[in-house]
Amino acid sequence: MELSKEVDILIIGSGPTGLGAATRLHQLNHENWLMIDALDKPGGLAATDVTPEGFLFDIGGHVIFSHYKYFDDLLDHALGTGTENWAFHERISYVYTKGRYIPYPFQNNISQLPVEDQIECITGLIEAQLESATACGKPKTFDEWILRVMGKGIANIFMRPYNFKVWATPTTLMQCKWLGERVATVDVNRAIKNVLLKKADAGWGPNATFRFPQQGGTGAIWKAVASLLPKEKIKFSSKVIALNLHKKEVRLESGESFRYNKLLSTMPLDYTLKLVGKPELADQLKHNKTHIIGIGLRGHQPRVHANWIYYPEDNCPSYRATIFSKYGEGNAPPADRLLPTIQMGITPVNDNIVAPGPYWSIMVEVSESEHKPVNKDTIVYDTILGAINVGLMESEDEIVSIHYRKENHGYPIPHIDRDGVLEVALPWLKDHSVWSRGRFGSYKYEVANQDHSLMIGVEAINNMLYEEEEVSLCRPDYVNKGSVKNKIIYEPKMKQE
């Protein structure tokens, strides 16, 4: 049997968290480390797929905005600056409901609803304010929080149906500590004033402006970051199938094994816990599955001018549609590329006649869980039909490319049992020299954006080496207020040849 290779710090996963850890080690001139990944390229859930026809689709909706200078500087160093490298956008997003487009966030724009729904929402807001004044204690579930903050009108028209479509989990089974900047609250006086003035109010949120790579999709970012690191310290196609805490050893599907002093794992925490014999904890962590469907079309941009649109109603299976061709100039093939039409709406076409563009694209996401089953055999058809139902497409639109991908770990759900598991599992693993970190490594959706994820990796290394506090992991509210923007500075080393 081959002897285990020895390494001081082993990183499992080359998504944003793993790459954040690796860039920090490289910056600090720490020599004895290795990063391994089950996939054949960096990026993890922040990678990008390319169809044979030349359309790009991310693994879900990703945009770049930041709470950290380290993150900003690293991306600028890796990918460059300026409009030749980045497209800069002002967010334009809507909720499509009641046959109309309501500016996002919905709860700030009830003025755009039909009058009877405005009345229901305002009545609910006022009742919620009165009930909150006498309520005992903080809300325990997401559903209680919605009712206490927004009232029954907004809850029933938007918040409950939309969040069920996203999480594939009833709001009554979710806790509310994760919310922070993720969900806009309601200023009742402002909402009523907007109704009376018939005013839209759409500027809320940390992603009100964002940037996106002109070429290569989100995956181009992480390929560029990985290229800053020594090639010999990254090992792809290396799936971990066993983890021995006593021996401090991981074994790969290939038969190789590595011993470590410290391990940073970005594998899903539920998977890690099962590897180390803690299935009773793993089973309490909940996640949904995500189906990503990319549709490439011939023609001009759609009728609605938006970056993305939310769908709370049952007339389409997706909870969000992104006009992905708007994000970066390389996300759709050039207009002079000749492509055949494969469908007119939901109707197949088999004539193989090719024609030029221009082209545009839609990327939609559909969630799945035990509470919300999905028929994989019909999901693409159902999604295209849903896009027609909500006016995102027309039945005569020429589809030239269809892309489908399923991710078994889509979103880490802030389930009511989550924090109890994390309070036991994460310290226990750390006591055994394992830092389980990242979107699914630490299961904290409230700090699971790309910037959060990368900095969780950076801060984990600082904790390993210097016992510094892991601020992003431990104090999400503090981080999301922008309080640590300049705490850790990225100082680039020479790019590796």
First to last CA, the chain: 34
pLDDT of residue 129: 85
Question: Domain of 281: which CATH number?
Answer: 3.50.50.60
pLDDT of residue 259: 97
Rounded to an integer, the average pLDDT of 5-21 is: 97
User: Where is average pLDDT lowest: 98-112, 252-266, 332-346?
Assistant: 98-112
The fraction of the chain above a pLDDT of 70, given in percent, is 94
Instruction: Give residue 268's domain range.
Output: 5-45+66-79+217-287+413-480
Rounded to an integer, the average pLDDT of 10-28 is: 97
d(CA 91, CA 93): 6
Is pLDDT of 336 > 50? yes
pLDDT of residue 193: 76
Query: Over the stretch 34-80, which tens digit does the pLDDT of each residue have?
Result: 999 999 999 999 999 999 999 999 998 888 888 899 999 999 999 99
pLDDT of residue 350: 87
pLDDT of residue 207: 64
The answer to whether residue 85 sits within a structural domain is no
Domain boundary among 385, 407, 429: 407
- Residue 7 pairs in a beta bridge with 260
pLDDT of residue 133: 74
Same domain for 282 and 296, yes or no, is no
**Average confidence score pLDDT of the chain:** 92
Query: Over the stretch 379-409, which tens digit does the pLDDT of each residue have?
Result: 999 999 999 999 999 999 999 999 999 999 9
Same domain for 382 and 293, yes or no, is yes
Looking at the structure of the chain, the number of domains it has is 3
The answer to whether residue 204 sits within a structural domain is no
pLDDT of residue 422: 97
Is pLDDT of 204 > 70? no
The answer to whether residue 365 sits within a structural domain is yes
Reported pTM: 0.92
Task: Kindly indicate the confidence band of residue 179, based on its pLDDT and cuts at 50, 70 and 90.
Answer: confident
The answer to whether residue 101 sits within a structural domain is no
Structure tokens of 156?
Answer: 């029933």
Which of 146, 76, 164, 81 minimizes the C-alpha distance to 107?
Answer: 146
Question: Between 115-134 and 142-154, two packed helices, what is the crossing angle to 10 degrees?
Answer: 140
pLDDT of residue 65: 84
Is pLDDT of 243 > 90? yes
Domain boundary among 362, 387, 407: 407
Question: What does each C-alpha distance from 283 to 274, 280, 440, 443 come to in angstroms?
Answer: 9, 6, 14, 13
pLDDT of residue 105: 85
Query: Over the stretch 405-446, which tens digit does the pLDDT of each residue have?
Result: 999 999 999 999 999 999 999 999 999 999 999 999 999 999
pLDDT of residue 497: 40
Count CB neighbours of 253 within 10 A. 12
Same domain for 41 and 151, yes or no, is no
pLDDT of residue 496: 44
